[in-house]
């Protein structure tokens, strides 16, 4: 049955459930992965080979040797999460701003996706507006549409969302009488998914300045989704918005152990403004009254046994090689095609590729057909643009270097290059 065609009366499901579309990407992936030979540069998964089996084994052994620690972790926990873990998370997230805050602001969630969903539920009524970069994290766009909110995209460049464009968008919305509907600005300041950009310190300051200016009469929250922060392969860490002096009552930091440790544990967290803690916890209590407690205690043990840093170091070393393999292959095979653009990210799991303007990448495009026929898969960029705001760029794609070996990355890029060549040559002669 096609998207949106479920009938709530024949299936007995609610009207709201009936309107939730299948994630378009999930559908594409299932179809495309039916071919096991395919090299997927699409999935944003972490590398199976790097999953921390040893570290988790050691932490489990520690817990087994201390039944007094293990026993409570097999019981229900609190809705906000394990206090000792939250203490660590506060330090990791607030950095130099930790001293002015307590763990009451930290809520542990089942992955940061749950937090994003809770934020959507907590902050947004139907018709409310979230401003995001063009492009942005497509799963969050799904969460927004799920609550009937509007996502409006703001122009971005190699450092993420442009402060001037954010200002202009807010001015435009105010002129249209919609300022009250704008609830938050969503950013991914470290190694963005999908754009692979990182906001410099001056860019963060400029974005915060705009948010601050527009929160004088009515609060405007700034969401900083820091999912990839630990995955830096070059250069120094950039301070968070909070560390740069942003107001903790208006900044929401989202963190996760998925990319830096193991997504299967589903441990994420938020550092929230005081006014949001209780409403978010109430929403969460309705759903699960606390994320799996055992996983939280496991993660806490991993941190306390100093097993996290070596794992992150291993990941950095491995992903650095793969990122270089991808960028080198793109330089060799794709860069010569007129109109192709990409930059070398300094971390994360993605490269964002722009093709000549006429070269669409979507699931109905000749390029998609040609690439899947040749055996390589990517995420069409069109899924990463909000329905409103900046114009969607159909000639873009997200490439992930997380899952495949360096050799397969090179092979995949070479297949992709052949597909692009084929399609652009045909277009030039057509
Ligand atoms: C930008 C961003 N935020 C949040 C998440 C959610 O991660 P998790 O729910 O595994 O913590 C992802 C996952 O890919 C992501 O890319």
Q: How many residues does the chain have?
A: 430
Per-residue pLDDT reduced to its tens digit, 293-325: 999 999 999 999 999 999 999 999 999 999 999
Instruction: Return the structure tokens found at 399.
Output: 């490439």
Ligand 1 center–CA 224 separation, angstroms: 12
pLDDT digits (tens, 9 = 90+) for 36-91: 789 999 988 888 899 999 999 999 999 999 999 899 999 999 999 999 999 999 99
Report the pLDDT value the prediction gives residue 31, as an integer from 0 to 100: 64
Q: Nearest C-alpha to atom 12 of ligand 1 is from which residue?
A: 227
Strand partners, 182: 129
What does the DSSP 8-state code read for residue 362? S
Distances, alpha carbon 198 to alpha carbons 76, 219, 234, 260, 409, in Å: 38, 26, 12, 17, 23
Q: How far apart are CA 311 and CA 370, in angstroms?
A: 38
CA of 92 to the centre of ligand 1 (A): 17
Residue whose Cα lies nearest atom 15 of ligand 1: it is: 227
Report the alpha-carbon distance of residue 303 to residue 312 in Å, rounded. Answer: 12
Nearest CA to ligand 1 atom 2: 227
Q: Is-contact 186 251, C-beta < 8 A?
A: no
- Intervals of the chain under pLDDT 70: 1-9, 27-29, 31-33, 430
Q: Tell me, what's the pLDDT at 8?
A: 62
pLDDT value of position 3: 47
Ligand 1 pocket check: which of 43, 120, 193, 262 to mutate, most ligand atoms within 8 Å of Cβ? 193
The answer to whether residues 347 and 232 touch, using CB atoms and an 8 Å cutoff, is yes
At residue 23, the pLDDT reads: 74
Cα 219 → chain centroid: 24
Closest CA to 300 of 48, 75, 98, 90: 90
Dist CA 348 CA 381 (whole Å): 17
Q: Hey, which bits of 140-209 come out as E strands?
A: 150-154, 156-157, 160-161, 182-187
Ligand 1 cavity residues, CB under 6 Å: 44, 111-113, 137, 188, 193, 225, 227, 256, 258, 263, 268
Tell me which of 29, 136, 189, 256 to substitute to probe ligand 1's pocket, judged by most ligand atoms within 8 Å of the beta carbon: 256
| Cα–Cα distance for residue pair 237/192, rounded to 1 Å | 14
370/376 Cα distance (integer angstroms): 9
Burial 21-49 (b: 16+ CB within 10 A, else e): eeebbeebbeebeeeeebbbbbbbebbee
pLDDT at position 1, please?
A: 45
* Six token digits for residue 116: 């994003």
The C-alpha atoms of residue 256 and residue 227 are separated, in whole angstroms, by 6
Show Cβ contacts of residue 13 under 8 Å, excluding neighbours closer than 6 positions. Answer: 6
């Amino acid at each position: 049955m096609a998207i949106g065609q479920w009938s709530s009366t024949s299936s007995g499901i609610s009207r709201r459930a009936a309107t939730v579309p299948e994630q378009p990407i999930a559908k594409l992936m299932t179809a495309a992965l039916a071919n096991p030979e395919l090299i997927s540069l699409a999935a944003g998964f972490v590398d199976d080979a790097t999953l921390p089996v040893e570290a988790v084994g050691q932490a489990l052994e520690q817990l087994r040797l201390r039944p007094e620690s293990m026993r409570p972790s097999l019981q229900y926990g609190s809705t906000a999460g394990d206090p000792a873990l939250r203490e660590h998370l506060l330090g990791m997230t607030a950095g130099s701003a930790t001293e002015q805050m307590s763990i009451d602001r930290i809520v542990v969630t089942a992955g940061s996706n749950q937090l994003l969903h809770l934020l959507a539920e907590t902050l947004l009524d139907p018709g409310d507006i979230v401003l995001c970069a063009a492009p942005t994290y497509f799963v969050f766009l799904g969460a927004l549409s799920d609550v009937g909110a509007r996502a409006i995209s703001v122009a971005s460049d190699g450092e993420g969302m442009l402060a001037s464009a954010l200002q202009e968008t807010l001015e435009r919305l105010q002129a249209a009488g919609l300022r009250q509907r704008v609830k938050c600005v969503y950013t991914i300041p470290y190694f963005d998914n999908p754009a692979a950009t990182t906001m410099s310190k001056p860019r963060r300051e400029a974005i915060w300045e705009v948010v601050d200016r527009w929160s004088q009469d009515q609060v405007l929250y700034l969401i900083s989704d820091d999912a990839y922060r630990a995955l830096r392969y070059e250069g120094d860490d950039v301070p968070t918005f909070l560390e740069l002096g942003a107001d903790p009552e208006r900044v929401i930091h989202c963190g996760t152990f998925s990319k830096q440790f193991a997504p299967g544990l589903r441990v994420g967290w938020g550092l929230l403004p005081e006014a949001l803690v209780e409403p978010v916890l109430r929403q969460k209590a309705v759903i699960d009254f606390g994320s799996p407690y055992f996983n939280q205690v496991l993660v806490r043990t991993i941190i306390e046994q100093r097993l996290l840093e070596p794992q992150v170091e291993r990941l950095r070393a491995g992903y650095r090689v793969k990122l270089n393999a991808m960028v080198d292959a793109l330089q060799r095979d794709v860069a010569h095609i007129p109109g192709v653009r990409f930059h070398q990210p300094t971390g994360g799991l993605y490269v964002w590729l722009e093709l000549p303007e006429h070269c669409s990448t979507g699931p109905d495009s000749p390029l998609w057909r040609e690439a899947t026929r040749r055996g390589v898969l990517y995420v069409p960029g069109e899924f990463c643009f909000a329905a409103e705001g900046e114009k969607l760029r159909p000639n873009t794609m997200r490439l992930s270097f997380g899952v495949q070996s360096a050799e397969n990355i090179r092979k995949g890029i070479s297949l992709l290059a052949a597909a692009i060549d084929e399609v652009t040559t045909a277009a030039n002669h057509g």
